[in-house]
Amino acid sequence: MKKTILLLAVLWSLLPAQSLDGKKVFETYCWGCHHQSAVAFGPSFTQIASKRTFEEIEAYILDPKAMYKAFGHQRSVMPKLDLNDNERACIARYILSFKKDH
Ligand code: HEC
């Protein structure tokens, strides 16, 4: 029993490091609709990074329905995803890492 608790404590301490990984957030929540460089159901991260700021990306994830018109989309298909602040910041930074000109 003690060992189980110890093991859980160790696993728990590893969790924050993982949730700080933008690639992991991408694979968990975005993959399938967005790909890194190829256009899938939604625009690619390369495309998004070329025209949006960190704040814009965060705002879109927070509330796609409120943002899609301002971003020039005809439809609002992307669902509102339940990411925490950390995950949202990580994925926004990850998307911006696909910006070509730097
Ligand atoms: C069910 C499919 C789906 C999922 C899951 C999804 N998206 Fe989207 N996303 C879209 C589509 C389609 C669009 C195009 C506009 C629309 O329909 O809302 C879009 C648009 C966007 C935009 C705005 C693009 C622009 O620059 O105009 C951002 C930013 C974005 N998605 C980020 C994400 C992130 C980050 C995740 C994962 C945390 C994610 N999306 C998950 C389908 C999805």
b/e sequence 82-102, b meaning 16+ C-beta within 10 Å: ebeeebbbbbbebbbeeeeee
Atom of ligand 1 nearest to the CA of 72: 27
Contact 17, 11 (CB under 8 A): no
pLDDT at 3: 77
pLDDT at 19: 43
The pLDDT tens digits for 26-55 are 999 999 999 999 999 999 999 999 999 999
Do the beta carbons of residue 89 and residue 25 sit within 8 Å? no
Averaged pLDDT for residues 4-23: 67
Q: Please tell me the residue having the least CA distance from ligand 1 atom 42.
A: 78
Tell me the CA–centroid distance for residue 16 and ligand 1, in Å: 25
